[in-house]
Structures are given as C-alpha cells and as structure tokens.
Amino acid sequence: MVYHGKPSTGCQSCRSRHIKCDETRPHCKACVRTGRQCPGYPHPLDFMLRDRIAFTRRGRSTSSQTPSFVKSDDAAGPSEVSTIPSVTRAVQPGTPPVSAASSHIPSTLCLPMEDTVTSLFFNSYLYLPKDPLVRTGFMELLPQLFATAPLDSHLRLGTLAVAFFSVAAWTHQESLLRSSQQCFVKALSRTRQALQGNIDQNLDEILMTVLLLSTYEEFCAMKENKPPSKAHLRGAIALINSYSPERRNSPQSKKLTNAVQTQIINTSISGAFPLIQTPDAWPLPLSVPEFASSQLTMATTEVVKLRQRWMRVSDASYMAEVELILSQARYIDSQLVAWSHSLPEHWIPAAASTIPPSVQKAGIYQGRCDCYSDFWIPATWNSYRNSRLVVQEIILQCLSVLPGRAEAINATIATIRAIALDVCATVPFYLGSQMASVQMNPSLVEYPKAETRRVSQAHQQTAPLLGGWFVFSSLETLCAVESLTEDHREWIRGQLQRVLQIYIFGPARL
C-alpha cells in the first residue's frame, strides 16, 4: 500500500533507513547515536511543493490534449506540431500576425507563440505608465530576469504560466489555459530541483519564481471560485527566513521581500483563515519608503498583528484584553486615516460629472462613481479601505462584547458602510460599461469622467484587460462584511459575477 500522507521532513539518512527522524537541529539524534553523518534537512519549500506537483500532474493526466510546444518531463520523443489557435488579435497594430498554424513549428519553448504572449503580457501590465508615487513591486524585475533566464529554467516557466493564463483570459483563447498549466507543472518541478542545490546563489530567482507561482495560484482560485491554498506564499515566507541579513538589504531582495509582505497583508485583510504566519522578522524593511504605497504598507503591517491578536481572544471574559485591543485598533485606524490625509491633491478621487447610460446599466451603486487621475491609484486606495474595514470590524466586535456601547456600535457600522461604498464607487472607473471580453478591442468600452479626471488613452487601453483583476479582491473582501445591508451585498455579488464573465471563467457560483 502506497502512503500518500504528509511528506517526510526528516533527514535523508533516516528516510532511507525508513525510521522516524526526531529532526533535532543541526543533527538528528538517530544519526548522532549511530555515528552517522547527518545530511541535514530539505528546505521547507521543497516539501511544500511535493503534493502540489503530484496533484497537478494527476489532473493533467486526465486531459486528452497537451500543448505540444511545452515538452512534458515524461515525454519520450519529439512532440506533434502545435495546433494552438492564433492570437493575432492580441498583437499590437503594425506587428506582423503570428499564426500557430504555420508549418513545421518546432517542439521547443522558444516559439513565436511564446514571444507573442509574453510581449503582450509585459506591454499590457509592466510597461504601462504609472504615477510616480505608485510602487511597481517585484514585477518590474521580471522582464530583465526573464530575458536572461535559461529557456527551461523555473523562472522562465513560471513567467510563462502567468503570461499564458493572463492572455487566455484577455483574448478568450481557452487553449492557452492548457499551455499555462503545463508551464506551471514544469515550473514546480524545476523549482524543486533548484532547492536541492546551493540555493544561496539563486535565492532571489527562486523567490521570484515562487511569487509567480503564487500569482498563478490566485488566478486559478479566481477561475474556480474558491479560496487559494496559499501554499506558495508559505513557501515564499520560508525562503525569506533563509535570507541572511546582508542579502536581505540588497535592492533586488528588498523588492522581492516587500512583495511577500504585501501578499501577507492582502491575505490578512481579505479575512482568510487560518492566518498566514508572518516571517521571523516583521515588518520587513521597505525598498522605497517615500512611495505612498510603501507608506501604506508600513501602516497596514500593524493590521496583520492586530488581527492575529484578536484571533487569540476566544472568550468574552477577557474584558481587559478586549479593551486593550479596542484601544490599539482605534490607534491603527487613526494612522490609516492620517495616511489618506497626507496624499497629494491629484490622488484625491473626484465624483464623476458624466456617466454614460451604458455604464449606469452595467452597475452603479447608489449613484456613486469616482474618477482618478491614474489607473493604479484606486488600487492603493482600495488597499487602504480594505485595511480600515478589517480594523473597523474588530472595533465593532470589541464594542459588541463591552457593555453600554450602543452609540459607538451604530457609529462604527455607519463608518463601515461608508468605506464599503467608497470601494464600490471604483467599480465603474475600472469596468466602465464592460460586461464581457472585448477581444483586445478596448474602444468598445465607455467610462465615466469628471471635469478634472478625463479618461486617458492608457486607461482606455488598460482597464478592459486589468480592471477586473484590480477590483475583484476588494469586492470579495466586502462579501465577508456582515454589517452591510442585504441589497448592498447583492449588488456586490452581481459585480463579482460580472468580472468572471468579462474573462473566460463564466458566471460565479456565489
């Protein structure tokens, strides 16, 4: 009988002898007692990936079609000629069309199809203009690392997994989802191989790949309408704990560790349970502390600790602790509000003065529609709002435990509803009149505008591709807020269905 339980984390000597390892550091007692040299233990990320690889491969084996340009680890010979449909609609004007039906396409990773997809992904996400105060994050390192990575490396395969998935959603080329899955499986395998060697030499590249795998995991969770497992985020935290203090201070490492910190914060404010364990050093140092988004990250690290503290309070009899948490929550909320007051004028949202009928028909809640000067700015605002929602929910729960707080409870509920309304007011800005994929024809979508916030060409080109990604997680967070009215929650659920219909994922099962 084959055992499919939890992977062994013991040393290789005990595993080969089929005995239980006590995992004492640095050398296990079994090896010391028998005079053997203890070979040490696998990296924590290594055994985190084992079950994921096996599960994905079992799912892959049930599929009757395999994209031929991604060569399987188990392939015994050359693949057939690819039959993946052309994505010529995804190519920018003036670029010669690339047809996957052209003759004699070789069975390697370096193909025009791959080049087209990665070029579209980079140009549609990474090379867009951004406000100077917006932090670009770890993705800005990706083009250069991708260009210099070996063809079959884990980093390149992880990039392809995310790029193929993104372009599949944008263009409705469902066959590219299979390509994405194949790259993902192979990236997992290559990452495990990299962990067997000297990871100190390639720690940043491995962490970049794990962040890409985590992004792919988020995409799949959105497609399947279920919570992501966060296995790769936990693996990224294990890698960060492996960093030496000197390495952690390098500019590239700071960007990568900041990305992990942001994912931990986003997981915490999304209401996920169980909570993700923070790295040994928390909060992590910021790469560019003067950025508005970096300053918000610093403030929201306190929200993570607050939620951890609140989850440890399980009995209403701990009145003294509840009072302390209430005081801490109110202080953190005041710090978040202070951040919003420190922003420059062009970051402040403006109420829409012109709302096309098509936008109104697509969905506006209580007539609220705000416009922004930059596509990326409301994403930072919604991170701030989601963080405040978590803090306000904790304040509300504390007040409900303490006696004589009816007036404060009503005020807190009003605050929560106002913040949620601000989040919903970004939906028309991001989605406009879009109800389905525009097949790379962004001019089909209309958007609201304000006197001082006109619709820019960059917004018109970008929002049909990325607007749904940006607003989906914020709307999901609102679904968990119990103090909203039922009609508000119903509107939010309808907008989540709309986002899934814009991509190739079909209606949500909410």
- Each residue of 120-171: pLDDT tens digit? 888 888 777 788 888 767 888 898 889 899 989 999 999 999 999 999 988 8
Element (DSSP H or E) covering residue 157: helix 154-171
Contact between residue 497 and residue 503 where contact means Cβ atoms under 8 Å apart: no
CB 306 within 8 A of CB 329: yes
Distance CA 391, CA 328 (A): 10
Instruction: Please say if the pLDDT value at position 307 is more than 60.
Output: yes
CATH code, 9-42: 4.10.240.10
100 is written with which tokens?
């996957």
Cα–Cα distances in angstroms (integers) from residue 251 to residues 65, 122, 127, in the given order: 43, 22, 20
Model pTM? 0.76
**b/e map 434-445, b = 16+ CB within 10 Å:** beebbebebeeb
**CA R_g for the chain:** 24
Which range (6-20, 222-236, 274-288, 456-470) has the least confidence?
Answer: 274-288
Q: Round the average pLDDT of the chain to a whole number and report it.
A: 81
Give the containing element (helix H, strand E) for 350: strand 350-351
Render pLDDT for 309-328 as a digit per residue (tens, 0 to 9): 888 875 555 788 899 999 99
At residue 344, the pLDDT reads 92
Specify which of 216-220, 332-336, 374-378 reaches the highest per-range mean pLDDT: 332-336
**Which residue ranges make up each domain of the chain?**
9-42, 136-290, 294-509
Say what the pLDDT of residue 468 is: 92
What is residue 43's predicted lDDT score, i.e. its pLDDT?
53
* CB distance 151 to 110 below 8 Å: yes
* Number of Cβ within a 10 Å radius of residue 33: 8
Surface-to-core class of residue 360, CB atoms within 10 Å of its CB (0-12 exposed, 13-18 middle, 19+ buried): middle
- Judge contact between 118 and 160, C-beta under 8 A: yes
